């Protein structure tokens, strides 16, 4: 059991150093050798943890999304609070996780720019595929709020979901492109929008 724990701990350490390489070099110029050098290990040792740099990149994203999904499930299962409060908490935790993972967002943006040079690469499809669970959770919360009689019955779930997801994209843009230190300023507008979903 301790071998598994040590293996996972080492993978996380490699991920942190790999992010530095991706940020310093750009995704296209980052190599497996550069990542191994930054970690102070051989390429052969690095292969025991990851197959290639894309594997490292994908694992980083998977870790973030898994953490986020666990947070969101915890909020979804809370009792004694309204769906307005649940949805607001859900959106706030998403913003907090994005702030915490600013470096990964920077690497993702760099990767998307790098990949967009390939005419066969559909960035929008790839991002949507990775965020389908997040979008599903937002829709589930909206539908549950409607069924509970808290959100207006005529609320267009698809459009409301897209509106909320636009805040996620805005937060990522502010953190990575505009280099804002926080996306705290989005919390008020999010609460205002969610209030608009509610039966008065």
Confidence category of residue 4, pLDDT binned at 50, 70, 90: low
Range(s) for CATH 1.10.10.60 in the chain?
1-50
pLDDT band at 119 (very low <50, low <70, confident <90, very high): low
Mean pLDDT, residues 78-83: 93
The per-residue pLDDT for 122 is 67
Q: What is the pLDDT of residues 96-117, one digit of tens each?
A: 999 998 988 888 888 887 777 7
Confidence of residue 44 (pLDDT cuts 50, 70, 90): very high
Q: How far is CA 62 from the centre of its chain?
A: 9
CATH of domain 1-50: 1.10.10.60
Residues of each domain in the chain carrying CATH 1.10.357.10? 60-197
**What's the burial of 165, exposed, middle or buried (CB within 10 Å: 0-12/13-18/19+)?**
middle
What's the mean pLDDT in 139-143? 94
pLDDT at 159 over 70: yes
Please give the CATH superfamily to which domain 60-197 belongs: Tetracycline Repressor, domain 2 (1.10.357.10)
Cα 186 to Cα 83, 170, 177, 192: the distances in Å are: 19, 9, 16, 10
């Amino acid at each position: 059991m301790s071998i598994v724990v040590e293996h996972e701990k080492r993978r996380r350490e490699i991920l942190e150093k790999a992010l530095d390489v991706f940020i310093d070099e750009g995704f296209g110029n980052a190599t497996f050798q550069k990542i191994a050098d930054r970690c102070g290990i051989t390429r052969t040792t690095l292969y025991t943890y990851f197959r290639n740099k894309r594997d490292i990149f994908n694992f980083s994203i998977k870790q973030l999304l898994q953490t986020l999904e666990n947070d969101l499930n915890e909020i979804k299962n809370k009792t004694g609070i309204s769906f307005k409060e649940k949805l607001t908490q859900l959106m706030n935790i998403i913003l907090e996780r994005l702030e915490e993972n600013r470096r990964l967002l920077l690497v993702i943006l760099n990767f998307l720019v790098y990949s967009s040079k390939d005419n066969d690469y559909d960035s929008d499809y790839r991002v949507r595929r990775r965020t389908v669970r997040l979008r599903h959770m937002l829709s589930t919360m909206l539908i549950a709020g409607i069924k509970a009689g808290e959100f207006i019955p005529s609320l267009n779930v698809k459009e409301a979901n897209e509106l909320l997801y636009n805040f996620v994209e805005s937060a990522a843009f502010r953190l990575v492109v505009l280099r804002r230190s926080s996306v705290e300023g989005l919390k008020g507008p999010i609460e205002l929008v969610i209030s608009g979903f509610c039966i008065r």
